[in-house]
Structure 1
Amino acid sequence: MPVHDLGYRPWRGQRMARWLRPWVVARSSISLVWRRRWLRTMLMLAWLPVVFPALGIFAFEYSSTDPGMQRAIFQIARGPLNQPELAQQIIENPEEARHQVWSSLILTFFRYPQLVAMVVLIGLIAPMLVSYDLRTKAYLMYFSRPLSPSQYILGKSAVIWFLLAMIATLPALLVYVLGVLLSPDLSVVMQTWDVPLRILGASAVLMIPTTALAIAYSSLTSESRYATFAWFATWAMGFVAYQVLTSTTAVVASAEQNRTRGRRRWENIEFDADRYRLLSPYHTLGKVESWVFGLDTSAASVVPAVLVLVAITVISFWMVRRRVIARLSV
């Protein structure tokens, strides 16, 4: 009988339910990143853009009693939102336009300020989540307990989901609640009851594929700076590629029309941008989020974007799981 048994022994501690085990990983990681003062400051600053959709909903509800405000909402819908049909509906039947106005304002909140905040936040936090564990061999501490690789990955992903919910989902739901409170009566709930569900759906579209991709980059290297570079390069190069290709196509289409039909206005040039959209994660996410909010009814063009996001999620999860299992097999 050996005095010191250094071999593997069965776990005799208290076991948690399987579906709660990822929370243990997430809780420890969240407590570590929450100590960073700049992160808390960034989360507070990320809430500032919520003022704009809230003011937009307030102005729309107030415009029913103020013709001047109604004209201002008309100009915003026709100009910055680029929805002339909605602008006309605001003038003719504001009650029917309410759902689309609210959805458009909340989508704008998701599409621009919060998507940019998401890219920056994930780029600063996600690269360290797995690469740091690989560099310091901290993953051995995690897997010394009854934890599967899939549960480990879900726990690490939950850290990002928590932070993104803080800057996107919660502010959007707050905007909806403020819109209901600022409405003339509670009958507005019957017209917009599905908006919170659409917010949750758009949040899932924003969180799941982006988190999976960031975690995959983090698992491919033990140096977090390489994962950070890969993350920002993916978004920057995709955005630039889309802009260059669509601009080039528009110029070629304009030259062709000038040669065959005479000069036409630039904004009247029509071309298919969907073929280039899949190159840019930014525009792909925007396409699917628009469809989730019911503002893009062209389901046929949304299907390729959804398939790309699903493929990114599945492939990224497989890559991370393979990397973790490879380290445990050494």
Structure 2
Amino acid sequence: MAFRAAEYERFTGPRRKAPVWWPLFTATLRRGWSSKWVRRITFASMMMALSFTAMIYFAYQVIPNWRDLVQQFGGAFQPGNEEVVIDSHAYLGLLRMFVYPVLLPLSLVFGYDLVAADLRSNAFESYFSRSITPLTYLVGRTMAFVAFLMLVTFVPVMWIWTFDVAIGPDGHFAEVAAVPLGMGAALLTTAIMLALLMQAITSVTRSGIWTNLTFVAVFLFSAPLGGTLVGLTDNYDWMAVNPLHCIYVFSAVCMGTAERLPPGTASPSLVLGIMTGVILASTLVLWRTLARRGVVG
């Protein structure tokens, strides 16, 4: 390669003021958006949010007091016949509509080959012979991955929240005021965890196919595994082996409603420990791979 030649010299001219990781970030965004499946998942998520708000608007037109009816009679379907309250805690239900269905497919079509392709092509030597370091490489790739995950999860939830606040009754804003920061912190942490985990797996397998198979196995088999372990041990903390369960509990913690979690959920402290451990372990695996491949010469 040219940068291995004896006459190769680092560029010493004027540089742009943009951060070093910015070109990698924008290149990764363009690469992701060029995938038709990424665009389809994104548009599907947005259309689901628009349809949901249209349904709420239609309910207001037909049954103006539908909120009161839901809160009054919805308790019949709750454990202990507790009254349903449409507040910040109720927004956890949106995770099943706008977060769980898109996290796995978007991760599979976007992140499966981010690091593996560079490992196979020895692109790291070209990257790291310039001002890009292993850390800036990781930041650029991860931030682009996180941006796509937030686009298809947090943006639809915020659209629904804005619509809910705009047409809701007086005093409703105070009941759901914790949603933007709470859900934002929860989904941002989740996106970072998944982005790092996906890249760590692909840095080990160095294969898009094996990365996707591993990721699918983690998501599909963790739920029945957790249920089986709970049945054997009668300890609900085993539910924490399910990533989606961890996201649910962590979101409740971020919105300050962890005390209202239903029976049969894992301990919030255990969930926090697991998510922190996944982030740290994935970062260490990636850092070891990138630092080892970043030696040029």
**Same fold, TM-score > 0.5, yes or no:** yes
Aligned residue number for residue 256 of structure 1: none
Instruction: Kindly state the Cα deviation for residue 112 of structure 1 after the two structures are TM-superposed.
Output: 4.7
Percent pairwise identity: 18
Aligned mate of 2:185, from 198, 201, 206: 201
Q: Report whether the alignment pairs 1:11 with 2:8.
A: no
- Which piece of structure 1 moves more, 44-53 or 282-291? 44-53
Q: Give the direction of change, closer, same or farther, for the CA distance of 1:295–1:160 in structure 2 (3 Å limit).
A: same
- Preserved CA contact (<8 Å) 2:88 2:178: no
CA distance in 2: counterparts of 1:234 and 1:134, whole angstroms: 23
Q: TM-score, normalised by structure 1?
A: 0.76
Letter in 1 for 2:277: A
Q: Given the alignment of the two structures, is residue 122 of structure 1 paired with residue 107 of structure 2, yes or no?
A: yes
Find the counterpart in structure 1 of residue 42 from structure 2. Answer: 43
What is the CA–CA distance in structure 1 between the aligned matches of 2:32 and 2:64, rounded to whole Å? 48
SS state at 1:229 partner = helix
**Aligned counterparts of 2:135 and 2:80: Cα–Cα separation in 1:** 44
**Larger of the two Rg values belongs to structure:** 1
SS of residue paired to 1:39: helix
Letter in 2 for 1:328: G
Q: Does 1:329 align with 2:295?
A: yes
Give, in whole Å, the separation in 2 of the partners of 1:85 and 1:298.
11
Q: Does the 8 A contact of 1:56 with 1:105 survive in 2? A: no
Q: Is this contact kept in 1: 2:146–2:195, CA < 8 A?
A: yes
Judge conservation of contact 1:26–1:155 (CA < 8 Å) in 2. Answer: yes
Residue 221 of structure 1: how far off its partner (Å): 2.7
Partner of residue 293 from structure 1, selected from 255, 259, 273: 255
Q: Which of 118, 141, 144 is the matching residue for 1:133?
A: 118
CA shift in 2, pair 1:190/1:35, >3 Å: same
For the pair 1:153 / 2:138, whether they are aligned, the reply is: yes
Aligned match of 1:30: 29
TM-score, normalised by the number of residues in structure 2: 0.84
- The equivalent residue for 2:207 is 223
SS of alignment partner, residue 272 of structure 2? helix
Instruction: State the shift of 1:35 in Å.
Output: 1.4
- Preserved CA contact (<8 Å) 1:61 1:184: no
Q: Considering only aligned residues, what root-mean-square deviation do their CA atoms show, in Å?
A: 3.0
**Distance 1:121-1:287 versus aligned 2 partners, 3 A rule:** same
Distance of aligned partners of 1:207 and 1:242 in 2 relative to their CA distance in 1, 3 Å threshold: same
Residues 188-217 of structure 1: CA distance to partner in whole angstroms, max 9, x if unpaired? 434433321112112123212111111101
Query: Is the CA contact 1:60–1:73 (under 8 Å) kept in the aligned structure 2?
Result: no
Contact map agreement 1:63 1:69 (CA 8 A) in 2: no
Q: Which amino acid aligns with 2:248?
A: G
Check 1:233–1:191 CA distance in 2 against 1; reply closer, same or farther (3 A cut): closer
The answer as to whether partners of 2:38 and 2:109 remain within 8 angstroms in 1 is no
Deviation at 1:52, TM superposition (A): 7.1
Deviation at 1:13, TM superposition (A): 3.9
Q: Residue 213 of structure 1 contacts residue 316 of structure 1 at CA under 8 Å; is this kept in 2?
A: yes
Is 2:279 aligned against 1:317? no
CA distance in structure 1 between the partners assigned to 2:173 and 2:150 by the alignment:
23
1:94 paired residue number: none
- Runs (4 or more) in structure 1 with deviation over 4 Å come to 55-65
Q: Aligned pair count?
A: 288
Structure 1 residue runs of 5 or longer lacking an equivalent are: 88-96, 250-270
**Alpha-carbon separation, structure 2, partners of 1:172 and 1:297:** 22
Task: Name the CA distance, whole Å, in 2 between partners of 1:17 and 1:77.
Answer: 57
Find the aligned partners of 1:217 and 1:202 in 2 and give their Cα distance: 22
Matched letter for residue 140 of structure 2: G
State yes or no: 1:182 paired with 2:167: yes
Change in Cα spacing, 1:120 to 1:78, as seen in structure 2 (3 Å) is: farther
Matches within 5 A, 1:98-109: 101-109=86-94
**In the aligned structure 2, how far is the partner of 1:76 from the partner of 1:191?**
18
| SS of 1:10 mapped into structure 2 | coil
Deviation for aligned residue 1:7: 4.3
Unaligned runs of 5+ in 2: none
1:133 Cα shift? 0.8
**Equivalent residue letter for 1:286:** Y
In structure 2, do the counterparts of structure 1 residues 111 and 127 end up closer, same or farther at CA, with 3 Å as the change threshold?
A: same
